[in-house]
Structure formats: structure tokens, C-alpha cells
């Protein structure tokens, strides 16, 4: 449910009159279903036990149930990577560029020459060095407390073991005099103004940052005393869905032959934009020479089916065993759904964490456009891939009475939601650990999931119960839902 915040695509064409679309008149959920069914047909021995609906309408209703089973089957297969590559290629065949000349694959359009955007630049005069300061459960953690924070998150089942290792490494080796110094690094941020983008912190660490978004950087940043780094941004706001060729050319010009850290944070809901924006960002990565990429960073939602390991399964079992009596009683009558919190097929384990209200485009973007794409990039080993899971974060994109109520009731199930400030800082630090650490990161291993991945039930039913608890505690939210 974590979201990058409002950043990215409009519906009208840019200067060229073109825009990124799904092939034909397809819907995002329709494309999602087609891609999964194509893979199931191509690898029948892997997906024979997965009951994928053949009709689009049936798939729309059932994807929340079948997608975890599909991913568990893939994870348990010796052809795991081959299947991921097949799915990603199938998705790419649906991502097109449409202009006056007609419709063609976006990858073809990105190969066409384009002029870089004109940039404004501001050099801050402060000394580089961002001082970590994270507030969690009422306690403040500075650089010296990062290892303690990581250990606490892991021990309570709020994060994977890799989170503790990364924060511990940062505290011991990744900081200079208690501060993060990124001097000499070039960072490009697609969706730089998104709520989950750590843009300001990486600037304060002394990086040279290229801001690409439909909004400009806050003007008051230039007035903040002691700010460090160098910030460049287009003189006019840029839309990834109508100007991907110019965005690619701008990144290449900014790199000037030096490898960049490329952050993929752009997000906007509705009209299939979740899927389209994610696909555009991936296409830009694929269009760049690998030698110009030091790393690619993206955030994965905890609500997309995710691989579970032994520690997760053990914590899930412990939470089931030690649940309160009221929870056991509701579970016994089926209030929390069937099948537990983990889908298991062929030895693979995946979270049953899909939330139907988020929609097919959101889930397609997360699963096809992030989880599988990151796995493919990591396997190629041409650059580092930071694809970590972020906890449910109370961003503007989740400003809905049902979500607000669910946030209020989630604690009853041992699920935590994070403020954007905390998520930005925490995930920004984890990304830097992925960039600088001795070991290359593994997508999906570093997960601050807030307890979702150790919940012993499918997420959607308890979320509805949590919303009911939240509405009971805050009736004003119900008035908002009813439009009063």
C-alpha cells in the first residue's frame, strides 16, 4: 500500500503530440490477465494448479486470490527467472507510443533521437553530510541508534532480517562522523517530488541531483541555510507519459559519461497510470547503456505477493499461536478468510497480501512492473538493483476514509502503518546501503513490511475488520465515506 505520492502522468500529448498507452484499447486489468494466462499456457507444468479465470470479468474479481498462488508456483519452479523474463516481455509488448504516425512499441520510440530538456541548476553552499534522525514509536533514533532500530523492527516481525543487517552496516561503516556523505554521486529521480522520494536527504548528503517531475522543486529549499549538494531541474514541468524520449535524453546529458543512481518514484492513480508510469520508467532504464547506471532504486508495496523465507513463516506461526481470544474466535467463523497468510505451491511461498480496493492497474504495476523487472535486472548483474519493500505509508494517495479507518484499526492485528517522513528516511537509508554495501542487494530481501508479511491471514479480510474497528473509534471517518 505504500505509494510514491502524486507524480507523473497526464492524459494529453506533449510537444510531439504523442503519449504512452496500452496497446489497442486494452485496460490495465485486461492486460494483466492476458500476460498471466500467456505465461500459464507457456509453462503448464508450473501453473497447472493455479486456477486462472479465462474471462476478463472473472479475472478482475479473482486476481486477489489467484495472484499469490501464481507467484508461489513461480517461486517454487526451477524456471523462476525464465518465467519472470517471459512475463516482463509479454507486458512490454502491450506498452506502446501513440502519435500522429500511429502506434508502435515504446521501446522503439525511445530509440528515436530527442533533445534534452533545458535545465535550471542551483548549487547549495552547505557542507555535505545528512544526519539521520528517525522517530519510531515515539523514540528518536540518530546514527548511533540505527542498529537498535533495525533489531527492534526485525524482532517484532515488522521487517525482514536484511533490514537489521543493512541498518547495522550503515551505523558501523556507511556513515562519516555520524552523517551520510554522497559527494561525487549523481542521482536522477523520476518522481522527485513524490512523498516517498528521499530527494532532500540525498541532496543534504552532498549529491548532485536531477529532479524530474510534473512539479518543480520547492522554492524555499534555496533559502534553507546549510543545505548541500547541487540540484538541477527542467525549466518546465515534465510528464513521463508524454515526454519519455526527452526524459531519456536529459538523463543521458546529465550523466555526461558518469554512472548515475536512478530512482524510480513516479506514481499517479487512475486511468491505468500506475502501470503505464512503472512501465515507462522501466523502459527508460532498459534504453540506457548499462555502463551509465550505478544503481536503479524502486520501492515495492507490501501488498503485492512477495517471497517468504523461513524467518517469515516462523513469525507467522508464532503470531497465529499467540493471537488473542477475540481474534481466534473471528478466525474460527471465517471472518479472516481461508488459507492463511501464505500461498504455497511447489515449494514456493508467497504472501496473500493483495488488497482488492487498490485495483488491477496498481497490482500489475507492482508485480509485473517492479517485482519481476527487478529480478530480471538483478540477474543480468549490470548494475545494482535496490528493490525493497516499504511499509504501508500514510501518503496523500491513500487519502480515503476506508484506508484511514483501516489504519486506525490495523494495530489490533499487529500491523503498523508509517508516516511519510519515517518511510522516506528509512527507505532512503536502506537504498544507500544497497548502493554502497559490500554485497550486491537481492530484490525482495530487504522488507519493512510493518507486519503484513507475518500476518497469519490473507490481508484483505482483516483489513475490512480493521476498517470497521477504525470507523467505530472515529465515526467522523464514516461521515466522510458517506459524503456528509
- Over the stretch 457-481, which tens digit does the pLDDT of each residue have? 999 888 777 766 655 555 454 444 3
What's the pLDDT score for residue 169?
A: 96
Specify the DSSP element, H or E, that contains 22: strand 19-22
- Give the pLDDT mean for 37-42: 97
User: What pLDDT is recorded for position 404?
Assistant: 61
Are 96 and 23 contacting, i.e. CB atoms less than 8 angstroms apart?
yes
| Mean pLDDT (whole number) for 372-388 | 98
Dist CA 427 CA 264 (whole Å) = 13
- Dihedral angle, C-alpha 294, 233, 239, 187, nearest 10 °: 10
**In the prediction, which pLDDT does 288 show?**
98
Higher pLDDT, 435 or 404: 435
**In 3-state terms, what secondary structure has residue 260?**
strand
pLDDT tens string 55-94: 989 999 999 999 999 999 999 999 999 999 999 999 999 9
5-19, 173-187, 382-396: segment of lowest average pLDDT:
5-19
Set of cell numbers at residue 47: 501453473
Contacts of 99 (CB under 8 A, 6+ apart): 13, 16, 17, 18, 19
Q: pLDDT at position 409, please?
A: 66
Beta-bridged to residue 208, according to DSSP, are 186, 230
DSSP string, 205-248: TT-EEEEESSSPPPGGGGGSTT--SEEEEESS---TTT-HHHHH
Which residue would you say has higher pLDDT here, 149 or 405?
A: 149
Q: Residue 301: is its pLDDT beyond 50?
A: yes
* Residues 308 and 342: beta-carbon distance below 8 Å: yes
400's CB contacts (< 8 A; 6+ apart) are none
pLDDT, the chain, mean: 90
| Residue 10: predicted pLDDT | 42
**Is 1's pLDDT higher than 90?**
no
Integer Cα distance of 120 and 211 in angstroms: 10
Distance between CA atoms of residues 335 and 277, nearest Å: 36
Q: What is the DSSP annotation of 269-325? A: -STTHHHHHHHHHHHHHHHS-GGGEEEEEEEE-TTS--B--HHHHHHHHHHHHT--H
Summarize pLDDT for 172-196 with one digit per residue, the tens: 999 988 899 999 999 999 999 999 9
Q: Which residue has the cell 532480517?
A: 161
Residues above pLDDT 70, as percent of the chain: 90
Range from 14-18, 49-53, 261-265, 475-479 carrying the lowest mean pLDDT: 475-479
Cα distances (Å, whole numbers) of residue 16 to 12, 20, 110, 191, 244? 11, 12, 13, 21, 11
**In the 8-state DSSP scheme, what is residue 7?**
B
Give the whole-angstrom CA distance, residue 73 versus residue 180: 41
Per-residue pLDDT band at 146 (split at 50, 70, 90)? very high
**pLDDT score, position 15:** 46
Give the pLDDT of residue 474.
53
pLDDT, position 9 = 46
Nine-digit cell string for 20? 504512452
Output Rg (C-alpha) for the chain, integer angstroms: 22
pLDDT of 417 = 87
Whether the model clears a pTM of 0.85, i.e. scores above it, the answer is yes
Over 90: is that where the pLDDT of 53 sits?
Answer: yes
Is the pLDDT reported for residue 312 higher than 60?
yes
Which comes out higher in pLDDT, residue 125 or 398? 125
Least confident of 107-116, 436-445, 456-465: 456-465
Residue with cell 512523498: 195
Torsion angle (degrees, nearest 10) of CA 209, 214, 216, 218: -90
Counting residues of the chain whose pLDDT is more than 90, the rounded percentage is 78
Choose between 20 and 10: higher pLDDT.
20
pLDDT the model gives residue 13: 39
Give the pLDDT band (50/70/90) at residue 291. Answer: very high
Classify residue 418 by its DSSP letter: B
Amino acid at each position: 500500500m505504500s505509494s510514491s505520492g502524486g507524480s507523473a502522468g497526464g492524459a494529453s500529448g506533449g510537444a510531439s503530440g504523442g503519449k504512452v498507452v496500452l496497446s489497442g484499447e486494452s485496460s490495465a486489468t485486461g492486460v494483466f490477465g492476458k500476460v498471466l494466462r500467456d505465461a500459464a499456457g507457456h509453462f503448464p507444468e508450473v501453473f497447472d494448479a493455479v486456477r486462472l479465470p479465462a474471462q476478463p470479468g472473472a479475472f478482475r474479481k479473482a486476481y486477489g486470490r489467484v495472484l499469490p498462488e501464481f507467484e508461489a508456483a513461480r517461486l517454487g519452479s526451477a524456471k523462476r527467472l525464465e518465467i519472470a523474463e517471459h512475463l516482463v516481455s509479454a507486458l512490454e509488448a502491450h506498452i506502446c507510443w501513440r502519435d500522429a504516425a500511429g502506434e508502435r512499441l515504446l521501446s522503439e520510440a525511445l530509440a528515436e533521437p530527442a533533445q534534452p530538456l533545458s535545465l535550471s541548476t542551483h548549487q547549495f553552499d552547505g557542507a555535505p553530510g545528512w544526519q539521520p534522525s528517525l522517530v519510531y514509536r515515539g523514540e528518536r533514533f540518530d546514527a548511533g541508534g540505527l542498529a537498535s532500530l533495525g533489531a527492534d523492527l526485525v524482532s517484532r516481525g515488522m521487517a525482514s532480517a536484511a533490514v537489521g543487517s543493512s541498518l547495522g552496516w550503515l551505523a558501523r561503516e556507511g556513515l562519516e562522523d555520524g552523517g551520510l556523505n554522497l559527494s561525487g554521486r549523481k542521482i536522477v529521480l523520476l518522481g522527485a517530488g513524490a512523498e516517498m522520494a528521499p530527494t532532500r536527504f540525498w541532496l543534504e548528503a552532498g549529491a548532485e541531483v536531477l529532479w524530474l517531475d510534473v512539479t518543480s522543486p520547492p522554492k524555499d529549499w534555496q533559502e534553507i541555510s546549510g543545505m548541500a549538494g547541487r540540484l538541477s531541474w527542467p525549466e518546465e514541468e515534465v510528464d513521463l507519459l508524454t515526454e519519455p524520449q526527452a526524459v531519456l535524453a536529459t538523463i543521458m546529458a546529465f550523466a555526461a559519461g558518469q554512472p548515475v543512481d536512478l530512482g524510480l518514484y513516479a506514481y499517479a492513480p487512475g486511468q491505468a497510470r500506475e502501470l503505464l508510469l512503472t512501465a515507462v520508467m522501466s523502459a527508460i532504464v532498459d534504453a540506457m547503456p548499462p555502463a551509465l547506471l550505478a544503481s536503479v532504486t524502486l520501492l515495492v508495496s507490501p501488498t503485492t505477493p512477495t517471497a517468504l523465507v523461513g524467518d517469515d513463516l516462523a513469525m507467522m506461526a508464532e503470531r497465529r499461536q499467540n493471537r488473542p481470544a477475540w481474534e481466534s474466535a473471528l478466525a474460527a467463523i471465517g471472518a479472516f478468510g481461508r488459507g492463511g497468510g501464505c500461498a504455497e505451491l511447489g515449494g514456493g511461498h508467497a504472501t496473500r497480501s493483495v488488497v482488492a480496493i487498490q485495483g488491477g492497474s496498481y497490482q500489475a504495476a507492482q508485480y509485473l512492473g517492479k517485482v519481476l523487472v527487478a529480478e530480471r535486472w538483478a540477474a543480468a548483474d549490470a548494475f545494482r538493483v535496490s528493490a525493497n519493500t516499504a511499509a504501508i505509508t500514510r501518503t496523500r494517495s491513500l487519502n480515503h476514509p476506508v484506508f484511514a479507518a483501516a489504519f486506525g484499526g490495523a494495530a489490533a492485528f499487529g500491523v503498523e502503518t508509517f508516516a511519510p517522513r519515517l518511510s522516506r528516511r528509512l527507505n532512503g537509508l536502506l537504498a544507500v546501503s544497497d548502493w554502497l554495501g559490500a554485497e550486491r542487494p537481492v530484490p525482495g530481501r530487504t522488507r519493512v513490511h510493518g507486519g503484513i508479511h507475518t500476518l497469519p491471514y490473507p490481508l484483505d479480510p482483516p483489513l475490512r475488520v480493521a476498517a470497521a474497528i477504525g470507523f467505530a473509534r472515529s465515526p467522523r471517518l464514516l461521515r466522510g465515506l458517506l459524503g456528509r
